[in-house]
Amino acid sequence: MPGLNPPQREAVHYLDGPLLVLAGAGSGKTRVITQKIAYLIEECSIQPHHIAAITFTNKAAREMQERIGKRLPGRPLEGLTVSTFHALGARILRQEAKQCGLKPNFSILDASDSAGIVGELLRNADKAQIRAVQSRISMWKNSLLMPEAALEVAQDALERGAARLFAEYERTLRAYQAVDFDDLIRLPALLFESDAEVLSRWQGRLRYLLVDEYQDTNRCQYQMLKSLAGPRAAFTAVGDDDQSIYAWRGADVENLNTLKEDFPQLKVIKLEQNYRSTTRILKAANSLIANNPKLFEKRLWSERGHGAEIRGHVCRDGEHEAELVVMKLQAHKFEHRGAFRDYAILYRGNHQARVFEQYLRDQRIPYLLSGGQSFFDRAEIKDLTAYLRLIGNDNDDPAFIRAVTTPKRGVGGMTLEALGRYAGERHIGLFAAAFEAGAESHVSSRQLASVREFGSFIHRLATRAAREPARQVLEDLLKAIEYEKWLFDSCEPGEAEAKWANVRDFVDWLSRKGDEEQKNLLELGQTVALLSMLDKNEQDNDAVQLATLHAAKGLEFRHVFLVGVEEGWLPHRDAEAEGRLAEERRLMYVGITRAEQSLHLSWCGKRKQGKEWRTCVPSRFIAEMNPGGDDINISGGTPDAPPDKAIGHAKLAQFRALLNKT
């Protein structure tokens, strides 16, 4: 295969057993996966419907699909699975719903819906408590722990309370005929363990597996993949232990070791040639990551030349840092005749973006902000998706409550509370309860008439949604509930216009999706939680990219400004005590390896926290990536910064880093 280096070619051709491809940053892993899919179809005569390529994001899945289409033009690829873990899990659950105690049109709840249920069960809890319990339940689910087992491993009163609530939460989900995002992978994994017939059926369907970003898998995802692979072990896992940065959401880099243990015949191929960055940038990245314990030894190299020197900028404070970075970015763009899209400003936490946004706006520099509010998290989109969920599953109580009250139609909290008490007594959903004769003893006839009128409206829509084009049903829905009028009555004109434009975008996109995939609204509504806006292509915009280091993974930019590189921020102040220093170092490594041509680091002498000023010192990672002391050109300084213990600790860490290299 032309264009592949020897290790890439070996990875594509290897079919003698399970394969782990250790693909360093910028080493062409997506090319290897797409070329291998083409090889399986063209040279090995494996039918597309027997191949599954699994990724972590819709964007990665789309990119892979596009590349395969270009690699195999005119070739029928019906049945080829290129999807996220969650989309594959949803597909399995749809087809095996009965075995999981679900009906085929179950609802998929997003994080906010799930938080709403947790909040109701906790009663009077604040958002922080809700998030903490929700996170704990998610971790247990991703570890394949049932509520009883969670209670056994709970280490304190808070966790024991969360474990008891876990059981209630699960019962509530089943009553709603709903699953959360974690269930999309957990339930298939558990089903494969308990039902040999179902497992055999899916092993027969998906005969070769390719897994992208394998280092980001959690226990649950690994178990599902292990079951699907079975004794035949026909799979290629592609990953990089140096880029494992998602432990906070359950990812377990030890799955790389587990893979070796569970599949002793595993072959390992390393991709170490980097096609993205200059030698100088890779030298800094290699020096940094060498301070981590290694599962696999590898060292990136490049033929792209030595490249520009890495620049370090010492700033007085956060305001000065933002001003300096924006000024340096402008000057660099002018000097190199570049475009704004060539530049990225990367940081540890979302809150760091605000001051950079301010200075970019002041200079009228266009920018894009990653990691902000998702399109599907917008209130107006959640309003509309509540109707879609309810059309598909009238047991979905959260969707029922949102739809019946948005826009307002005379059904208030007291009515819903009374109906809820009756539904609880009968162990049925709110929708079904409204149409039972017994509801009349709990809810006034006038209020009940409004609820039943709404229910009949939903039933009519559900009937139409299964037969008619999605666009027509959506347009009639919006007209019937007078959503546009309600927006302009309840919001300021500018806000209402923006919200209505989002609704129109959503309707247009969902309608196109229905036409392209030949799906009706009922089918689209069942999986809408897994969809993303395909036509919101940020790459077409000439704008500076602002992103967290987590959000930047998988991206690349010609020029990168990595800001706030200070002890307490990067690494985070809690990392060392919590045993997360290695992951923080990997996070820094990811930031460095986003850069193709130039890398700028900046840190401050002091920062304002609330009303107080805090003395800052450069991150220990700067010394680790610059062991010789001459690979980073540092300018600026903070001569007025008073010494303190933090400075002493940081200098000691830097000194130790130097000693470890000698």
Catalytic site residues?
A: 29-30, 212-213, 243, 594
Residues in Cβ contact with 434 at an 8 Å cutoff, skipping those fewer than 6 apart = 419, 448, 451, 452, 455
Handedness of CA 272, 274, 275, 278 (dihedral sign): negative
Phi-psi domain of 182 (left: phi exceeds 0; alpha: psi -120 through 50; beta: other):
alpha
- CA distances, 651 to each of 287, 573, 619, 645 (Å): 18, 16, 9, 10
Amino acid at 318: G
Order across the sheet with 310-315: list the strands. 367-369, 544-548, 343-347, 557-562, 595-604, 310-315, 632-636
Structure tokens at 209: 């597996």
Residues in Cβ contact with 511 at an 8 Å cutoff, skipping those fewer than 6 apart = 469, 470, 471, 474
3-state secondary structure of 230: coil
Report the distance separating Cα 531 and Cα 110, nearest Å. Answer: 12
For every residue of 135-160, DSSP letters joined together read HHHHHHHHTT--HHHHHHH--SHHHH
Amino acid at 362: D
**Residue 479: how many CB atoms within 10 A of its CB?**
11
Structure tokens at 165: 């609530």
For every residue of 186-201, DSSP letters joined together read HHHHHHHHH-HHHHHH
CB 600 within 8 A of CB 311: yes
For every residue of 39-92, DSSP letters joined together read HHHHTS---GGGEEEEESSHHHHHHHHHHHHHHSTT---TT-EEEEHHHHHHHH
With helix as H, strand as E and coil as C, how does 475-529 read? HHHHHHHCHHHHHHHHCCHHHHHHHHHHHHHHHHHHHHHHHHHCCCHHHHHHCHH
With helix as H, strand as E and coil as C, how does 307-318 read? CCCEEEEEECCH
**Helix boundaries (H) for 427-444:** 430-434
Dihedral pair phi/psi, residue 433, rounded to 5°: -60, -35
- CA distances, 514 to each of 234, 288, 419, 527, 661 (Å): 34, 48, 35, 12, 58
Report the distance separating Cα 651 and Cα 500, nearest Å. Answer: 55
Dihedral pair phi/psi, residue 627, rounded to 5°: -65, -30
CB 601 within 8 A of CB 622: yes
Q: What DSSP character marks residue 566? A: B
Structure tokens at 237: 């896992």
3-state secondary structure of 219: helix
**Residue 337: how many CB atoms within 10 A of its CB?**
6
Cis (ω within 30 of 0) for the bond into 147?
no
Report the distance separating Cα 357 and Cα 543, nearest Å. Answer: 12
